[in-house]
Chains A and B, each alone.
Chain A
């Protein structure tokens, strides 16, 4: 149960300055505007486990992912990767890689698959000998369910699911320990989604990978995750073990989100649709950011912002949860 911690995120904040250009501010008196993409998020991920992050479009999931892999420096707070033992026994910083949403944009169209997968090996000088690099590429391609001969082909010869396998092979080529998967299957056919998800689970079991799975697809998250975090407007509103959260959601937003999952057993159940749009992260509502859409909102919700507090095995940010 108590696997060592792989990633600790402490009060991570990411703000974007979306002010109009300097001249406009001077001439028309426009004010500076700041978009709070991620607004104080803290969590830990244990090694070999999967954290699922769920939320609607624009809630800051992807910015969080980009911060974890280092593409986006946090405005405040820290994201710390804990040293972990490597294959040779030494302690080292874990390598973090990312699996992207769009398999058609994530592979350079002018590179052969073999070169794409070999790039991290050559760049990080993991293997010196060119023959060893080729052998490793062949092995990686077979690990993800492709043929070694596919190394000589170009990405356009592959389907979306196969390209996603190539992306995974490229990530594994770095000897990655942590994979941040930003909507890894949402661009794929449903039948292919399951194959990719099962491949990811198999690799996790074989290689002890740690996943941070970003998705808006609740079924995918439920299938994959040990823990789950529900994100709303740059903050976590509910976190906890995935099964518990799915079995008994406590935050009103989580409840409404889970309501949207179609249920084969009860196709015509009385559902309460999630109304309204996510408010703008440039100008968030006062108090609890969810109160304009919350069916149970009270006066307190409009005035103060609830903090994430422990309730049993999980944390919920809501005044109504006691």
Chain B
């Protein structure tokens, strides 16, 4: 079933364009590999770096395996607490991807709903929603996120801060992230709702809510798909930035950004592998997502076909 669907997709126009683009194929391959290894981290990682029974302090600061003093199974070395860097990266990638995908999903849901309402209802609803969007856009994203994270942390009792760290991050990224989706969807909604098929539905007597959901929404989703892909990279970066600044994930469940922050403290003592490898992984993910998004944007643009 799934195999048949993939085979059919590869034969379609989009599939052909995909196969003709080595960059897109490579990006997708990297992303699939990264996502699979992150999801399967508990099965494939040499150790669970957050299980104290598996971490030994006498294995601290071992360099990567190809260097003198390198030691199996610590392929990319260990940190000053004896945690395996490769394992930390796999677990950290899991956290980064999770937060990135969740942030995109939340901001997309909010943004698409608001954009659809603004574009379809028009008038003062449109004005109100779009002025809110303008206001949100006029405040730097990171500033909002830092503020939200800090306020949420101050409000939550200390025991709840760590379990809710990921939720707070997703919320603070989505708080500004929805605007782009809202604007994209509003623009296409305003075009689609004037089209004759939407008017035909109105003449038949279909309710506005159903016209919005069943006629207009599916016809506005193509640009949303592109925006979502490109924003996944931005969301992962935003999470990494916040974690690097210390308002993101705690040390007990680090994301890639948190790993880089921790590694940064040891950079000048010569333990460079703590910061370089997570940074390379982060760069690889964001680059692949962006390249894939660029390809998707071109592939879905009928004027370029």
Contact = CB atoms under 8 A, between A and B. Distances in A.
A97 interface: yes
B200 to A, nearest CB: 6
Interface in B214-248: 215, 218-219
B202 A107 contact: no
A139 to B, nearest CB: 19
Contacts of B205: 120, 123-124
Interface in B199-219: 199-206, 210, 215, 218-219
A106 B219 contact: no
Given A108-B215, A110-B218, A123 B204 contact: yes
A119 B199 contact: no
B285 to A, nearest CB: 32
Contacts of B196: 100-102, 105-106
Given A108-B215, A109-B219, A110-B218, A97 B203 contact: yes
A41 interface: no
Interface string A98-127: 101110011111100000000110011000
Given A100-B199, A105-B196, A106-B197, A174 B219 contact: no
A257 to B, nearest CB: 27
User: At the interface, is chain A mostly helix, strand, loop or mixed?
Assistant: loop
B199 A108 contact: no
B197 A71 contact: no
B131 interface: no
A108 B203 contact: no
Contacts of B202: 71
Interface residues of A, number: 22
A301 interface: no
B206 A71 contact: no
Nearest to B217: A110
A67 to B, nearest CB: 12
Contacts of B197: 105-108
A170 interface: yes
A284 interface: no
A101 B202 CA distance: 16
A92 interface: no
Contacts of A69: 203
A119 B203 contact: no
Contacts of A4: none
A170 B197 CA distance: 11
Contacts of B219: 108-110
B195 interface: yes
Contacts of A110: 218-219
A119 B206 CA distance: 9
